[in-house]
Amino acid sequence: MASIKHVAITGGTHGNELTGVHLLKHWRQKPQEVARSSFVTEMHLANPKANAQNRRYIDQDLNRQFKLADLNNHELCGYEQNRAKSLNALLGPKEDPRVDFVIDLHTTTANMGMSLIFNTDDPLVVGMAFYVQQKMPHATLFFDPADRLEDNFLTSLGRHNGFLIEVGPIPQGLLRADVYNETKTAVLHCLDYLEAYNLGTVPDLPERREGYRFIRKVQLPENELGEITAMLHPALQDQDYQPIAPGDPFFMTLDGETLPYDGDGVVYGAFINEAAYYDAHVGLSLMEKIQIERKPG
């Protein structure tokens, strides 16, 4: 496999997630921290306009605009739909990208700790997740496989479908030093891994690790006017990656009534009470626990 020559670190893909934005500012002052001998590291503020307005997006969620078909559809011309085309010109083009790897920095209001989100079984990418987790054992692997050309994430612009670092809990629109430092540490491990990959010095990594695969999103209950009538149950709040069994407390109505989880088997929650999903009244994602295999590279 060809070596890695160009790595992009992106932040502010969601304009009110300030951690990545300020890490980019920091690294522009201290580029030696992200420089490695065997590749070029470049940095891009993905959605400057949304960041300037301290909003997630202006017209559309930028991190849903990178399907190949959408990038090539010039009738999609909202602010972020255009910005995605611009980033595709800068980093891609998606079919044959200039950039080998994109590391995209995100935060969440959910109690997801250090979550490493990757959408491919590409051994280079799975190896990065295992490597970072070896260095940061509290990190959780969040696997949501998609064909790279069909994938709508910014990270899919890289030749290897890249890597999204998602840290929480943190409200939108502010910095927390703990979240900032965690994110910084994870990025530096990612770069060290790619350097070791190029130099043939990647340490022994496990063949498989436990992780979580996305099943579906769950909406909050609504009335006939489309208004929210319940919240996530307090017993579920902040319990990301913990099991949810049939009959467990799931929602609490505005009246205080408990509604149980009515699914068939045990699932696991993620993005529990993510503020960014409230406009669609999405309360959480359901995940299954899986073993993630690292195929020989």
Q: Please report whether residue 45 would count as binding a copy of itself according to CB under 8 A.
A: no
Q: Please report whether residue 275 would count as binding a copy of itself according to CB under 8 A.
A: yes
Q: For residue 147, how many other CB atoms are within 10 A of its CB?
A: 12
Q: Which of 22, 64, 135, 217 binds a copy of itself (CB under 8 A)?
A: 22
Stretch binding a copy of itself (CB under 8 A), from 132-140, 143-151, 164-172, 284-292: 164-172
What residues numbered 214-253 form the site for a copy of itself, per CB under 8 A? 227-228, 231-234, 237, 252
Site string for a copy of itself, 58-97 (x = CB under 8 A): ----------------------------------------
Q: How far is the CB of 294 from a copy of itself (least distance, A)?
A: 33
Q: How far is the CB of 95 from a copy of itself (least distance, A)?
A: 37
Q: Which residue, 23 or 292, is less far from a copy of itself as judged by CB? A: 23
Nearest partner of 162 among 126, 209, 137, judged by Cα: 126
| CA atoms of 284 and 278, how far apart (whole Å) | 10
| CA atoms of 92 and 125, how far apart (whole Å) | 18
Q: Please report whether residue 279 would count as binding a copy of itself according to CB under 8 A.
A: yes
Q: How far is the CB of 253 from a copy of itself (least distance, A)?
A: 9
| CA atoms of 214 and 121, how far apart (whole Å) | 15
Strands (E), the chain: 6-11, 40-45, 101-107, 113-118, 140-143, 163-168, 208-219, 230-232, 243-244, 249-253, 258-260, 267-270, 282-293
Q: Are the C-beta atoms of residues 128 and 143 closer than 8 Å to each other?
A: no
Q: Which residue, 234 or 247, is less far from a copy of itself as judged by CB? A: 234
Q: How far is the CB of 260 from a copy of itself (least distance, A)?
A: 15
In sequence order, the β-bridge partners of residue 214 are: 287
Q: Which residues, at least 6 apart from 225, have a Cβ–Cβ distance to it below 8 Å? A: none
> Measured in Å, how far apart are the chain's first and last C-alpha atoms?
8
Q: Which of 30, 208, 289, 295 binds a copy of itself (CB under 8 A)?
A: 30
Amino acid at site 244: I
Residues near a copy of itself (CB under 8 A): 18, 22-23, 25-26, 29-30, 54, 109, 169-178, 180-181, 227-228, 231-234, 237, 252, 254-256, 273-276, 278-279
